[in-house]
Amino acid sequence: MNTSAKMPKLKMDNFRMLIGGELIESESKRWFPSMNPANEEILAQVPLGSAKDVAKAVEAAEKAQPAWASLSMEKRSEYLRKLADALNERAEELLYLEVLDTGNTIKKMNGDVGRGIAILLYYAGIGYELKGHTVPSTPGNLHLTLREPYGVVGRLVPFNHPIMFAISKMGAPLMAGNTMVLKPSQQTPLSTCVLGEVCQQILPPGVVNIVTGYGNEVGEAIVRHPRVKRLALIGSVKTGMAIQRSAAEVAVKHITLELGGKNPMIVFPDADLSKAIPAAVDGMNFAWQGQSCGSTSRLLLHESIYDQVLQGVVKIASSLRLDDPLSWEAQMGPINNKAQYEKVQYYVRAGKEDGARLMTGGKRPEGKQFERGYWFEPTVFGDVKPVMRIAKEEIFGPVLSVLKWKSPEDLQEITNSVDVGLTGAIWTRDLNTAIKVARWIQSGYIWINGVSAHYPAMAFGGYKNSGIGREEDYSELLSYTEEKTIHVVL
């Protein structure tokens, strides 16, 4: 493959975990490989963490937490700002590691470090808003509440945007006075190891701890540790349910979950189709190989515009350029890992078996450069029925299902027929229709004449099985505290 990006020299060894302010190997002395999904070559070896490593990380976090919580808001904010500056200095290195490790294209990944830093700085700036309140419960006495940190927070980060999520999800818990144990995905651990190096240089020992390894050992140990009272996950519905079950067996915990979606993009006959058609491709996030919880993977078209829009979407999707993710010309890279690749293949077979019409894609692209790696063409199915598996189940891959609707009643039933509800998009020129539909869609994050974008300080999260809690806004900061009520009897 031709690579037009000039890659800086990357140090692809000596990746370590961060525990108690030290960059260390695993207690197990074992390692596991991180693979480049574009060619299946091993990029680096990473420590294979164990339950003992998690126990050490929690102990270090507990030890560091009282001193961290006793710092002023100004001082905590200063630490986060220094961390942001240090990460900015290594942004290019982090970008190239991310591209190699995830398979996401460099043009799209180029903003991920900056987006993570922006959210980190947002929380660094609103710490003083972490307020309690007073209530005039009785005359002559004082009744008030305080916001106090949980202590040790466990965070589990997914494979699709590892460094952005790792950076951004530190802001709220740290500003609230907690310390952390962070686990990156076993599929994409490299950039988070670099994050550990930066944290070691900037933060007090034990404030942030990073343990690499597999979910069934490291992840499970974090979830089940009795002194990790607060947990947060971005992942699949199946994983979220498993975490709830596992955590409940050992303790009562506060858990927030940002899980998958089977998100609708609804197009009305009066919509500006010149914008809606490319938006349908953008909303599917083919640029991320469809590996995004918020992808609008169900395109719901009114029957009067169905053929026109479907043809336009197929034309754009089939023309997307698959290329080396390091090329600035690439519009789509490989699927992240073998398991996800096989899952996409399964759903393409399911679509065909259930009677959907394959309009484009559905296979590995042709060409010698695509013989190795987890490459899959952008795929569009037409004539999809609501009962089909590709219409009901999250694929988390480059597969768009296009459905037809006739009446508003028909539309509402189709839209809300799935058991998840993360995002949704409505395309119409009629504001009354848009607001009405936005109200009855059972999803937590809605765009009107837009797709995909996240906006600063706006709560992101899902309805139904798409999760619990909200992130990216002020409420996330509050969620990392417990409320204490105090009565002063005068």
Query: Out of 293, 393, 394, 476, which one is annotated catalytic?
Result: 293
pLDDT, tens digit, 9 for 90 and up, residues 19-56 = 999 999 998 899 999 999 999 999 999 999 999 999 99
Query: Out of 27, 98, 217, 258, which one is annotated catalytic?
Result: 258
Predicted local confidence at residue 9, as pLDDT: 81
Q: Is the dihedral of CA 210, 214, 216, 217 positive or negative?
A: negative
Cα separation, 377 vs 289, whole angstroms: 9
pLDDT value at 1 more than 60: no
- Band (pLDDT 50/70/90 cuts) for residue 7 is confident
pLDDT, tens digit, 9 for 90 and up, residues 56-66 = 999 999 999 99
Q: Is 258 a catalytic residue?
A: yes
How much of the chain, in percent, has pLDDT values that exceed 70? 99
Q: Say whether pTM exceeds 0.85.
A: yes
What domains, with CATH codes, occur in the chain? 17-259+467-488 (3.40.605.10), 264-455 (3.40.309.10)
pLDDT value at 112 more than 50: yes
- Band (pLDDT 50/70/90 cuts) for residue 2 is very low
Cα separation, 355 vs 386, whole angstroms: 12
pLDDT value at 3 more than 50: no
Cα separation, 98 vs 82, whole angstroms: 22
pLDDT, tens digit, 9 for 90 and up, residues 288-318 = 999 999 999 999 999 999 999 999 999 999 9
pLDDT value at 4 more than 80: no
Cα separation, 397 vs 136, whole angstroms: 54
- Say if residue 14 is exposed, middle or buried (CB neighbours under 10 Å; 0-12, 13-18, 19+): exposed
pLDDT, tens digit, 9 for 90 and up, residues 312-360 = 999 999 999 999 999 999 999 999 999 999 999 999 999 999 999 999 9
Cα separation, 360 vs 143, whole angstroms: 64
Structure tokens at 221: 């140990």
pLDDT, tens digit, 9 for 90 and up, residues 267-288 = 999 999 999 999 999 999 999 9
pLDDT value at 6 more than 80: no
HSE-CB for 121 with a 13 A CA cutoff = 14
